[in-house]
Structure formats: C-alpha cells, structure tokens
Structure 1
Amino acid sequence: METTELLKRVRRIEIKTKGLSRQIFSGEYHSAFKGRGMSFSEVRSYQYGDDVRNIDWNVTARSGEPYVKVFEEERELTVMLLVDISKSSYFGTVKQPKNELITEICAVLAFSAAQNNDKVGLLLFSDRVEKFLPPKKGRGHVLRIIRELLDTRPEGGGTDIGMALTYFTNMVKKRSICFLLSDYLATDYERPLRLAARRHDLVGLHLYDPRERELPAVGLLRAKDAETGKTQWIDTDSARVRDRYAGWYNDTMDYFNAAFRQSGADTLSVETTEDYVKELLRFFKRRG
C-alpha cells in the first residue's frame, strides 16, 4: 500500500475508533478489566483467617514462623492483541471483510487501553509469527499498531493458533489482558490455550462472515481455498455437500467454545454484518 494512502486510512480509523473509545468504551473498559490484575507487594506475619495458599514457604522456612505474601491491585495493565491475519481473514461477502472489522475492533481496544494509561502490544500471526510489537504506551504506538494491521500481509499459508499462543506465553511474562482475534477455522490449540489462560486474562474474539456458516444452493460453484490456493468445483445444490460443509463448520465452532470454556477464558462472537459496538458494550457490561 502506498504510504500516502496508508496514512489516510490510519487517520480515518483513528477518527472513528478514538471517538468511540473516548465517548463509549472508556468507562466500560475500566470497569471490565481494572482491578483484575494483582502484583506482589510484600510479606508479613501470618494472621488468623489468611489464605494458606498465600503462604511464602521460603520466608517461613528461614524464619521458623509462617509468613504470607501480600498482593495489591495493579494500577496499570498490559493489553495484548493477538490477531490472525491468515488469508482466510480477507474473506467477506456482505458488509466488509473480516480483516477490516478486526482492524477497527483492535483500534477501539487499543485506544481504550491508552486512555486508561495502559500498555498495548500486538502479535500478528498466520501459521507463523508475522509481526510482534512489545507493549508500550501512547497514541503514537497505537497508530503504529493500526498501520501494521492495515499494511502487513501474511507470508505464511495457513493458521496456527497454538503456535501464536505459545509464542505469546513465552514472550509476555507479566499478566495481561489478551484479546485473541480470529475466525477460528482451525483446531488443535487446546493445550497452549489452557497454559496461556492460567497466566493471562484471555478473551477469544471470534469474527465470522454469514456465508461461512453454510453454503448457499447456487448450483455448480468453483471454490478456492484462501490459505492453500487449491481450487475445486462444488455442487452446492447437493444437500449432502451442504450438510457436510455445515458439519465441518459446526465442529470447529464446538471445538472453539469447548476449548475456551474448559480453559476458563471468555469468548465473544461478532458477525461482519453486526454492530460490533453493541456487542463489545454487552460483553464489557457482562464482565463488569
């Protein structure tokens, strides 16, 4: 993308999403996530009623008396955006492609975090890590995140959510609020998801186009797999073909919901034709 056009698109997204963050999401974001992070403060002598899980066994062993760890709420949080930019994210049939919706949602979340003086980081992935921006504060960093979302094209040919989660867990040690944005048309990420959810406050944000749920009966259709490049003819008038496709899609969604539920992480699904503002507000209020 030409630099001039890229800067214009960044500016348009900033004007739209920064206003939403300031006027609508700032308070909701704060109530949904502030106070959930806890950091170590000090140790003190054990008192009746203290949670035994907070006992500092090293200090207790050295002193011969029980000591507990004291934690305090973190005033500043770290927000990580893990974004699937595999080729399937460029699919769109009605209002806008999934990648455009993802960019707007990421911008809203990033500006909401920045307005609360939180750090924001970005990890773009396909079947490999395409780009990693460590968490930082400030408007300039948020604008760079938007530029990378608009301009980075995947070199990888597939999607590997488990790989992205493993990389994130290894790179970001401090507890963070992590939004994982994907169409989740992949499986085999349950274990990395469970490990990441133990350390971080993880939210699976599922973005999908209405045509992905079922095939329309439009006769013989030539279809191309966006990630493998393979093409084939499909008889969409065949009820068996449509049922098999719907079964595959439902299986991936069942896996997504079960994996996140078992890990204890939150989920949110947004269709490209829906008002994502309402969906995000509903989600934030539910958490708050």
Structure 2
Amino acid sequence: MTATIHQLAPERRLRRLELLVTRRLDGLLQGQYLGLLPGPGSEFAGSREYRPGEDEVRRMDWAVTARTNVPHVRQVDADRELTTWILVDGSASMDFGTAEIEKRELAVAAVAAVGFLTAGFGNRLGAHLVDGTRRVFRARTGRTHLRGVLRALLDAPRVAEGDPTPLAAAVAGVARSARRRGLVVVVSDFLDDSSWAAELRRLAARHQVLAVEVADPRELELPDVGLITLVDTETGLRREVSTASRKLRADYAAAAAAQRSEVRAAIRAAGAVHLPLRTDRDWVVDIVRHVLTQRRLAAAAPRKGGAA
C-alpha cells in the first residue's frame, strides 16, 4: 500500500488495496491461503492423554480426566466452514504515522490480508469497527461482503482527540457476537490500559485468537529534531519536550520498549497468537512470514502424538 491511497478517489481506494494484497500474496504464498494460526480447528474429535511440554493446559478435557484419573486434552478437527470475526481499533491513537503509511492504513491492510486469506469455501467474515461508536458487520460469506467491510474502514471518520475508546469493552463485544467457535482477529496498537488483557484471555478460551499489533517507529524512539510538541491523541494532553536531550531519548526508548514487551507478554499469556506489524516495514512480507511459520507449526503438530 502506498502513502497516497487516501488521496485516491473513493472508488479507486478499494481496487488499489485488493490488487496489492491479492497479487503480492499470490506471488509469495504457494497453494491455498492456509495457516494464519497453527490450531487444527474447533470441532470436538475426542480426547487423548496429556503430554507435558507439548499440550496447553487450557485444552484439558476435565470430564475425561476426572473419569479416568489420567490427564487428558481435547482433540479437534478442522472446521469445514470457518467464521472469522475481526475487531478493528479505530481510536485516535491509530491516526498516526511517520513512515510509508499511517497505523490506520496498516490496520485496514491487515484486515484485507486476513479477509482474502480466509475467503472461500463457505467461510464467513464479520467485523467490529470501534471509532468512538461501535459498528458491527454481520458475519457473511463472499468477497462482495469483504469489500463492503473494507470500504467502510477506508471511509471511516477520524476520532476526535480526547474521545478514548476502551479496547476491553470492544473485545467483550466481539465475544458476544462470536457465538460459534472460530477465528477472532484483533487489530490494534494496544495503547490502552491493560484491562483488555483479561477480556482477550476470556476470548481465547473459546476461540483461536490472532492479535495484530500495529506500531510506528516514532512510538519506539525519538529522533534528535529539537523542540517538539507531543500529543496524547486519546486524551488530548500536550507537552513540549526537547529531543536534543540524549537522556530524554534514552528514557523514551526504554519506556517504549518496556511497554511493547508488556503488550507481547499479555497477548501470549492470554493464549493468543501475536503478529506485530510496523508502518516502516513491508507488512505483506511480515504477514507471509507469519503464515509460513504457522504452516510449519501445523505440519509438525501431528508428529507430536497420535489419536486416543
């Protein structure tokens, strides 16, 4: 995606995005678009004995464990039809970017990639867009529906400063919509209070969850550009700082690294898969690398154990 996509006529934005995603995915991925997550599916297919170090405790089959006095885990088969729910954070902090694109544009690109990777075979896609209010798109099949969701994201108004959107409430809203087990993708910068972590954990207890974290390089470190005004887009608070201070830049980088580390840890502790994307990197390559890694994990999984 180029930095000028929002300068295009509305009818051309979607076409540019679709061509970019589908052509590059076709060129970099071979075969069907599978492997966003390593899990085999969600349909119950029996149980087998628990293997320490290989199995997740959250997959324990407590009924069988109690009956046999031997720890067992649930086995699942791949769903013939997948329902994917996407939560897109449209809060004010997403209206930021100092590289090729803004975080908001990167979020839309991530949604497009997920949509085209999971399209077909009767799979359904629904979406929640949180931008001061919450807009819900019912889960439906087909690329026409996907294009409608993408068009709404591209045309979404920017959120005013000082109008924060709680990510925790948004995640809880998706959990209420996603009644059938499936895939939930949360696209956000996760620059919110840590209350979202508990809601993400509850969501991952029932669904496969992919957390797509979008970031900009200036959120991670400051350049030496003299006196600047920093603005908290969620609250509207402003503060002037001198970036000529080496100590200030070092403290900023350390605090940003610690914050990003906390986000990664919270996502993994919740049982979700983490996909970091940056506005100064080739996001298509990063998504493809993620997909190929998940394919390898999925291919290795059957060798870890047999059926019960």
Q: TM-score, normalised by structure 2?
A: 0.77
How far off is 1:73 after superposition? 3.1
Greater RCO (Cα-Cα under 8 Å, separation 6 or more): 2
Give the percent of matched residue pairs that are identical in Structure 1 and Structure 2: 28
Give aligned pairs, total: 270
* One-letter amino acid of the counterpart of residue 281, structure 2: E
1:204 match: 211
* One-letter amino acid of the counterpart of residue 83, structure 1: V
Structure 1 window deviating more from structure 2 (251-260 vs 22-31): it is: 22-31
1:185 match: 191
1:175 match: 181
Offset from partner CA, 1:100-127 (integer Å, 9 cap, x none): 122122112112211344111111125x
Please tell me whether residue 87 in structure 1 is matched to residue 95 in structure 2: no
3-state SS of paired residue (2:34): helix
Unpaired segments ≥5 residues, structure 2: 1-5, 51-59, 68-73, 296-308
When residues 190 and 89 of structure 1 are mapped into structure 2, their CA distance, relative to the original with a 3 A threshold, is same
Distance 1:136 1:278 in 2: 28
Distance 1:124 1:246 in 2: 31
3-state SS of paired residue (2:118): helix
Please tell me whether residue 53 in structure 1 is matched to residue 61 in structure 2: yes
Q: Contact 2:85–2:126 (CA<8 Å) still a contact in 1?
A: yes
When residues 50 and 265 of structure 1 are mapped into structure 2, their CA distance, relative to the original with a 3 A threshold, is closer
2:83 match: 78
Q: Contact 1:120–1:136 (CA<8 Å) still a contact in 2?
A: yes
2:116 to 111, 119, 124: 111
1:161 match: 167
* One-letter amino acid of the counterpart of residue 98, structure 1: K
Distance 1:33 1:98 in 2: 23
| RMSD of aligned alpha carbons | 3.1
Structure 1 window deviating more from structure 2 (219-228 vs 136-145): it is: 219-228
How far off is 1:22 after superposition? 4.6
Please tell me whether residue 221 in structure 1 is matched to residue 228 in structure 2: yes
Q: Contact 1:222–1:233 (CA<8 Å) still a contact in 2?
A: yes
Distance 1:82 1:148 in 2: 13
Q: Computing the radius of gyration over CA atoms, which structure comes out larger, 1 or 2?
A: 1
Offset from partner CA, 1:131-171 (integer Å, 9 cap, x none): 11121110110111111110112557224221111111112
1:36 match: 40
Distance 2:29 2:181 in 1: 22
When residues 71 and 36 of structure 1 are mapped into structure 2, their CA distance, relative to the original with a 3 A threshold, is closer
Offset from partner CA, 1:159-213 (integer Å, 9 cap, x none): 4221111111112111121221111222322211110111111111111111110
Unpaired segments ≥5 residues, structure 1: 61-68
Offset from partner CA, 1:16-54 (integer Å, 9 cap, x none): 22333455457463245587223258x9xx9xx789938
Please tell me whether residue 248 in structure 1 is matched to residue 262 in structure 2: no
